[in-house]
């Protein structure tokens, strides 16, 4: 049983109440808590030593990543982050100076995005460090962008470049908060998700939520230099395209818009964010098939993204 099968099993009969606008199954929960014109976004995420970072990773970057993962989910719903609490689980022989450095990295990112860190919990955890962040944000009522909503004929876009994040970027990525809010403020986004588990996996979440299929263009996938260089220097490495589709932890935005908006969006993006690449990588189709089109034709994509409990 992989993590998504387990999640489906655990969320079949969860309690709810009148304040829940969106429950499990999206990047954040969406709550109506009576704020004038605003809904609340609620998200939690965790990083575990040996899974999300190695013991020798720079502590400031560990803290950065712990918060940035939650910020990326708020970005995926076009929201604004507000405040966070942090649960810190540590082995008995922890180094206090190292933990202070972890918090320095987290605090620096929080300050850049106006996030208050307002408390948390510390606890003993045998063998390894674990950091869990719970984050609150807000979004204008009725303006939240969900995974569901992609329509046949929509153009699919992705920000930045994909693959090879394990070489360092997974500890340094910047959540696309400003980009997401700009997109939602200027164009009608039909669906959006952040790429945490790989394009091949996260796109499937959008397709399943929307009840549609998609066709990706192999030549249009924006492959990172890291993925290409890793493939050249390591004989056992994934081919660059496979890395871009499956590596995960890119934390870029994948979104769907009406095809008529594709060219105006690209033009406006280049003027607004000239340093950040934006690529149209395919289209949404009717049905439930995910295809990859290359020069030999279109075939079902049999690659998948990362899922906990299924990896060696």
Give 43-88 pLDDT, tens digit per residue: 999 999 999 999 999 999 999 999 999 999 999 999 999 999 999 9
- At 232 the pLDDT is 87
Q: Which of 295, 284, 288 is nearest to 262 (CA)?
A: 284
Averaged pLDDT, 216-222: 98
Based on DSSP, count helices (H) and strands (E) in the chain, helices before strands. 8, 13
- At 261 the pLDDT is 98
CB-based burial of residue 170 (10 Å sphere; 0-12 exposed, 13-18 middle, 19+ buried)? buried
Task: Please say if the pLDDT value at position 96 is more than 60.
Answer: yes
Mark residue 198 as left, alpha or beta (left: phi above 0; alpha: psi -120 to 50; beta: remaining).
left
CATH no. for 3-140: 3.30.1330.10
Q: What are the structure tokens assigned to 125, written together?
A: 């955890």
CATH topology of domain 155-300: Phosphoribosyl-aminoimidazole Synthetase; Chain A, domain 2 (3.90.650)
Task: Please say if the pLDDT value at position 31 is more than 90.
Answer: yes
Task: Please say if the pLDDT value at position 220 is more than 60.
Answer: yes
- Which residues of the chain form CATH 3.30.1330.10? 3-140
Averaged pLDDT, 136-150: 97
- At 311 the pLDDT is 57
Higher pLDDT, 43 or 287: 43
- At 307 the pLDDT is 80
Strand partners, 284: 214
3-state secondary structure of 60: helix
Taking the C-alpha atoms of residue 124 and residue 94, their distance in angstroms, rounded to an integer, is 10
* Most distant pair of Cα atoms in the chain: their distance: 58
CB-based burial of residue 151 (10 Å sphere; 0-12 exposed, 13-18 middle, 19+ buried)? middle
What rounded mean pLDDT belongs to the chain?
96
- Which residues of the chain form CATH 3.90.650.10? 155-300
Query: pLDDT of 175-194, one tens digit each?
Result: 999 999 999 999 999 999 99
Task: Please say if the pLDDT value at position 174 is more than 90.
Answer: yes
3-state secondary structure of 49: strand
pTM over 0.85: yes
Contact by Cβ (8 Å): 189, 150: no
């Amino acid at each position: 049983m992989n993590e998504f099968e387990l999640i489906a099993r655990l969320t079949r009969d969860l309690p709810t109440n009148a304040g829940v606008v969106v429950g499990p199954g999206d990047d954040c929960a969406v709550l109506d808590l009576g704020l004038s014109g605003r809904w609340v976004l609620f998200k939690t995420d965790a990083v575990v030593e040996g899974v999300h970072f190695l013991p020798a990773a720079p502590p400031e970057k560990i803290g950065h990543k712990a918060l940035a993962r939650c910020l990326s989910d708020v970005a995926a719903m076009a929201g604004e982050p507000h405040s966070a609490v942090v649960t810190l689980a540590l082995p008995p022989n922890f180094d206090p100076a190292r933990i202070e450095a972890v918090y320095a990295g987290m605090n620096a990112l929080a300050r850049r995005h106006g996030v208050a860190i307002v408390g948390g919990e510390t606890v003993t955890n045998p063998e390894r460090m674990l950091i869990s962040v719970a984050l609150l944000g807000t979004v204008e009522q009725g303006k939240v962008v969900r995974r569901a909503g992609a329509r046949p004929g929509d153009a699919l876009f992705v920000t930045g470049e994909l693959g090879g994040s394990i070489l360092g970027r997974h500890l340094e990525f910047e959540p696309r908060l400003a980009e997401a809010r700009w997109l939602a403020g200027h164009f009608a986004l039909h669906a959006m998700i952040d790429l945490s588990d790989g394009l091949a996996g996260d796109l499937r979440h959008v397709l399943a939520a929307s009840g549609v299929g998609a066709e990706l263009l192999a030549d249009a996938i924006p492959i990172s230099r890291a993925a290409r260089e890793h493939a050249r220097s390591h004989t056992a490495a994934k081919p660059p395209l496979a890395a871009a589709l499956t590596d995960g932890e890119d934390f870029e935005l994948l979104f769907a818009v009406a095809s008529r908006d594709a060219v105006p969006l690209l033009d406006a993006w280049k003027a607004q964010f000239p340093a950040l690449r934006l690529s149209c990588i395919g289209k949404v189709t009717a049905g439930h098939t995910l295809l990859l089109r290359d020069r030999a034709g279109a075939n079902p994509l049999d690659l998948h993204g990362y899922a906990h409990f299924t990896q060696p």
